[in-house]
A and B are shown apart, each in its own frame.
Chain A
């Protein structure tokens, strides 16, 4: 038996506490490192000047007022879904059904626009769309919540499967509302009357979307942090047994929180249909229901931090599209960049929670 006489090369210890400033410094370093690695990868693979590529990304995302507006529009859409997911995930309810909840919210909105667009006065039409989208989203999330609370079914699988039902439902309505006939799309709804289109505000398109979502941001922050409901959500999420011990009705909290979560995701469908695309298709949600999970978790359910995360993700996405077209690269190149950056940002959490100690180096620092 040979006894190794040396210390391990590197040891990992959990950090007790870390200053907020230091944590953010580590995150910042991770972004810088990510950009550096991306630069090397870009150069190695396509022999392009990374600085130019980054400049192109910047230009693509915020280069012109129009682009800035589109970036803002997509950011608030993602943020809205993230806000919707926050209470569910804070309760440790794995709601991966946002895609479906957005779609049914969008269908409800489109239905109102199509069937009541000519009959109802404008304010009533908006009220109907608003309420219908939230109800549809809530319905879509209450079903798995009810089964979870009542029969302890697995909410991850359940919400996921509800997505497929919603996609099929969307296909059905796309076929039903097909316009023009044979196009296999719904086309722009109410193109002539613009009934049910969210109006421009302060002369700027999408302003209503932005204001609506910012109100939600503040509202959800207050709800989670200061309300009795928010406290119950936190307790149920941390420990169901503690919740029962103090007499919290866990089933009720699960169903209530999930209807709220689904309602906000449904509202995201409303914003997508009434506030930006004015049409509905199976790609209305476009995977954002999943991306928003990253937003919610990275921000640790703090809705203000979610703004930052959403901006970053959408910025990367827009920049990536730009470099794809400008340098004649395909989409995959840009997705690689997004992937590398996300990897570093998620990885930085490790260095925030742990530190590495190298052999013979006392109190070694790593970031």
Chain B
């Protein structure tokens, strides 16, 4: 369908938060029968702009026209009435309810709720666009991708014909992303207007018809996807020339640093999260860990860090000087440090685990080191110096080292965390989703830091979700599937689809039943 009539016109939208201008006179058109990619770095105002459209924020200035008529969108409900629906990055579902119950939640209706009819309509919508959803299934039994499907159906059920998706593929495997894209294309062909917010350029090229780029709260330009390329889009986003290659040197003097043997972990609910996992990590090498989310990556890293109770198996750290093997199982993080094991861990949950959001940069630097010294009082000076050094070395954008960490943007939070973890001169560095939610610039800063550590002879374990990055950055990749090792592969000799297959099936073989 080539009829692209304009569904929404946003004119000179301005929104400020305190002294921060999140959107500065932004103009954007959204057309029916078209998929629009909204591109921009962290903090460039994409999500704010879409939140304005979906009624969560109210703009300070500017006007919005829906089908040529000016409207004031007062609330998310009002946005639905206008046919605008948004699928947020963080799902807003009630875990203990079924898909259908979540979908009708909050909708007005007559006294009696006819769940059968609801289920039927849900199935109708699903089959129309090629979704797979079971209306009777409870949310807590669903995978991330199924939950996302419920979110999308929820929006469609409410009659939305303008859909906004905020980083929909961040949590999906390549296969799941392909499925989602097929659905989005079906919806586009049905005449719906679709906006997707993303960081991943190859997805932009694959799915969208048109691209709109934002930078620092301003709209910097738009073009048809077919007429542009990744380099041009990146340069527009960042505002200058950027190199999109990740350097990868051959590992030098690789020595075995960590040996994991037959590791099994059972969680509190009795579910086996890791099943007989064995591998090793070597100095001067980046070992990638790939897997669908929830396949035991978190448990694996936490077991090594001394945070996860282990059922059986062994985790041995080979001391770089003495070559003696030290067992880490049964030790807590404090004891591991006291043994002289130089282990750093950048966890997935930055503000809930790695850092304390309400504390300032200097206080967060102390988290690892505050016990040093005999005094009953904390040393405030060296953490402050370290914070200042991290801020200048890693170019952290912050008003100062006394700013609470939660006020920083995602990329800067991650720089603070990584900066602290590498300041202790680790011999093993574990990172979980180190670039999740980070823009291109910040991501490349993190890749550079990881490569620097590798050059210094650190054994790096990199848990990632973007297979393109894993393949470019890592030397070897350990693929997990349902808590088991699906294989350890040479990252230089494998392609994305083979890894994707290994993630969904042990060994990656074709399914035979």
Do B376 and A227 have beta carbons less than 8 Å apart? yes
Contacts of A242-278 to chain B: CB distance below 8 A: 242, 244-249
Contact bitstring A280-296, B, C-beta under 8 A = 1, else 0 = 00000000000000000
Q: Which of A1-57 contact B (CB under 8 A)?
A: 1, 3-8, 11, 13-17
Q: Which residues of B contact A238 (CB under 8 A)?
A: 356-359
Contact A4 B353 (CB under 8 A): no
Known contacts A242-B352, A245-B347, A228 near B376 by CB under 8 Å: yes
CB-CB nearest in chain B for A4:
B74
- Chain B window 61-96, contacts with chain A (Cβ cutoff 8 Å), 1 for yes, 0 for no: 000000001111010001001100000000000000
Complex contacts, B58 vs chain A, CB 8 Å: 7-8, 11
A234 at the interface (CB under 8 A from B): yes
Contact status A241-B352, CB under 8 Å: yes
> Which residues does chain A contribute within 8 Å of B378, judged by CB atoms?
226-228, 230-231
CB pair B78 A4 closer than 8 Å: yes
Among B19, B82, B354, B366, which residue has its beta carbon within 8 angstroms of that of A245?
Answer: B354
Q: Which residues of B lie under 8 Å from residue A11 when comparing CB positions?
A: 58
Contact A239 B353 (CB under 8 A): yes
B217 to chain A, nearest CB (A): 15
Known A239-B353, A247-B334; judge A234-B359 contact (CB<8 A): yes
Rounded to whole angstroms, the CA-CA distance of A231 and B378 in the bound complex is 8
The yes or no answer to A362 lying at the interface (CB within 8 A) is yes
Please give the number of chain B residues whose Cβ is less than 8 angstroms from any Cβ of chain A in the complex. Answer: 45
Select which of A3, A227, A235, A246 is within 8 A of B82 by beta carbon.
Answer: A3
Assess whether B335 is interfacial by the CB under 8 Å rule.
yes
Determine whether the beta carbon of B356 is less than 8 Å from that of A228: no
Q: Which of B97-105, B319-327, B367-375, B445-453 contacts A (4 or more CB under 8 A)?
A: B367-375
**B20: chain A residues within 8 A (beta carbon):** 16
B111 at the interface (CB under 8 A from A): no
- Given A226-B377, A227-B377, A239-B352, A16 and B332 contact (CB-CB distance below 8 Å): no
Chain B residues lying within 8 Å of A67, measured Cβ to Cβ, are none
Q: Are the C-beta atoms of A245 and B345 separated by less than 8 Å?
A: yes
Contact of B307 among A6, A16, A229, A244 (CB under 8 A): A244
Known: A6-B72, A238-B359. A17 touches B18 (CB 8 A): yes
B349 at the interface (CB under 8 A from A): yes
Report the minimal beta-carbon distance from A188 to chain B, rounded to whole angstroms.
41
Q: What residue of chain A has the Cβ atom nearest to residue B345's Cβ?
A: A245
Closest chain B CB from A139 CB (angstroms): 24
Q: Is the CB of A246 within 8 A of B17?
A: no
Contact yes or no, B354 A247, CB < 8 A: no
Residue B355 lies at the interface, judged by CB distance under 8 Å to chain A: yes
CB pair B18 A246 closer than 8 Å: no
B235 within 8 A of A: no
Question: Which of A232, A234, A242, A249 has most B Cβ within 10 Å?
Answer: A242
Interface residues on A, range: 20 to 34
Which residues does chain A contribute within 8 Å of B333, judged by CB atoms?
244-247
Q: Quick check: is B60 within 8 A (CB to CB) of the other chain?
A: yes
B137 to chain A, nearest CB (A): 30
Nearest A-chain residue to B74, judged by Cβ: A8
Q: By the criterion CB–CB under 8 Å, are A245 and B353 in contact?
A: yes
Q: How far is the CA of A228 from the CA of B383 in the complex (A)?
A: 14
Q: Which residues 283-335 of B sit at the A interface, judged by CB distance below 8 A? A: 305-307, 332-335
Is A13 a contact of B17 with CB atoms below 8 Å? yes
Tell me, rounded to whole Å, the shortest Cβ–Cβ distance linking B70 to chain A.
7
Q: In whole angstroms, how far apart are the Cα atoms of A229 and B349 in the complex?
A: 25
Given contacts A226-B378, A241-B353, A247-B333, contact A5 B367 (CB under 8 A): no
Q: Which residue of A lies closest to B333 (CB)?
A: A247
Min distance, Cβ A159 to any Cβ of chain B, angstroms = 25
- Give CA–CA (A1, B176) in the complex, Å: 37
- B127 is an interface residue with CB less than 8 A from chain A: no
Q: Could you tell me the distance in whole angstroms from the C-beta of A150 to the nearest C-beta in chain B? A: 16
**Bound-state Cα–Cα, A249 to B306, Å:** 13
Is A1 a contact of B81 with CB atoms below 8 Å? yes
Min CB–CB distance A298 → chain B (angstroms):
18
How many Å lie between the Cα of A98 and that of B336 in the bound state?
A: 38
How far, in whole Å, are A193 and B58 apart by their CA atoms in the complex? Answer: 73
Q: How far is the CB of B58 from chain A (nearest CB, A)?
A: 5
Q: Is the CB of A242 within 8 A of B356?
A: yes
Q: Is the beta-carbon distance between B70 and A16 smaller than 8 angstroms? A: no
Minimum CB–CB distance from A353 to chain B (whole Å) comes to 12
If A17-B18, A226-B378, A238-B357 touch, does A3 touch B352 (CB 8 Å cutoff)? no
Q: Cα distance A13–B347 when bound, in Å?
A: 32
**Chain B residues within 8 Å of A232, by CB:** 370
Q: What is the minimal beta-carbon distance from A231 to any residue of chain B, in angstroms?
A: 5
A73 to B189, CA, bound (A): 78
| B332 to A, closest residue via Cβ | A247
B382 within 8 A of A: no
A208 to B70, CA, bound (A): 72
CB atoms of B376 and A229 under 8 A apart? yes
B409 at the interface (CB under 8 A from A): no
A7 touches B359 (CB 8 A): no
Question: Known contacts A4-B74, A13-B17, A16-B19; is A247 also within 8 Å of B335 by CB?
Answer: yes
B241 interface hit (Cβ, 8 Å): no
> A242 vs B354: C-alpha distance in the bound complex, in angstroms?
6
Closest CB in chain B relative to A191 CB, distance in Å: 43
Distance in Å from the Cβ of A124 to the closest Cβ of chain B? 29
Assess whether A228 is in contact with B371, with CB atoms less than 8 Å apart: yes
Q: Is the CB of B307 within 8 A of A245?
A: yes
Whether A5 and B70, one on each chain, are in contact in the complex, defined by CB atoms closer than 8 angstroms, is yes
- Distance, CA A282 to CA B347, complexed state (A): 51
List the A residue with the shortest CB-CB distance to B66.
A3
Q: State how many angstroms separate the Cβ of B307 from the closest Cβ of chain A.
A: 6
A244 to B283, CA, bound (A): 27
A247: chain B residues within 8 A (beta carbon): 306, 332-337
Least CB distance, B437 to chain A, in whole angstroms = 19
A231 touching B370, Cβ below 8 Å: yes
Residue on A nearest B349 in the bound complex, by CB: A241
In contact, B354 and A5 (Cβ under 8 angstroms): no
**Do B18 and A228 touch (CB < 8 A)?**
no
Instruction: From known contacts A6-B72, A227-B378, A362-B60, infer whether A239 and B335 are also in contact, taking CB-CB under 8 Å.
Output: no
Q: A246-B333, A246-B367 are in contact. Are A235 and B356 (CB under 8 A)?
A: yes
- The distance from the CB of A46 to the nearest CB of chain B, in whole angstroms, is 44
- Bound together, the chains give a CA A229 to CA B377 distance in angstroms of 8
Q: Could you pull out 24 A-B pairs where Cβ atoms are within 8 angstroms? A: A1-B81, A3-B69, A3-B81, A4-B72, A4-B74, A6-B72, A8-B74, A16-B17, A226-B380, A229-B376, A231-B370, A232-B370, A234-B363, A235-B367, A238-B356, A238-B357, A242-B352, A242-B354, A245-B354, A246-B334, A246-B367, A247-B337, A248-B334, A249-B334
8 more contacts with CB within 8 A, not counting A228-B370, A228-B375, A234-B356, are A3-B69, A8-B58, A16-B19, A17-B18, A228-B371, A234-B363, A238-B358, A242-B356
Closest 10 CB pairs of A and B: A16-B18, A247-B334, A247-B333, A238-B356, A241-B353, A246-B367, A226-B377, A245-B353, A8-B74, A231-B378
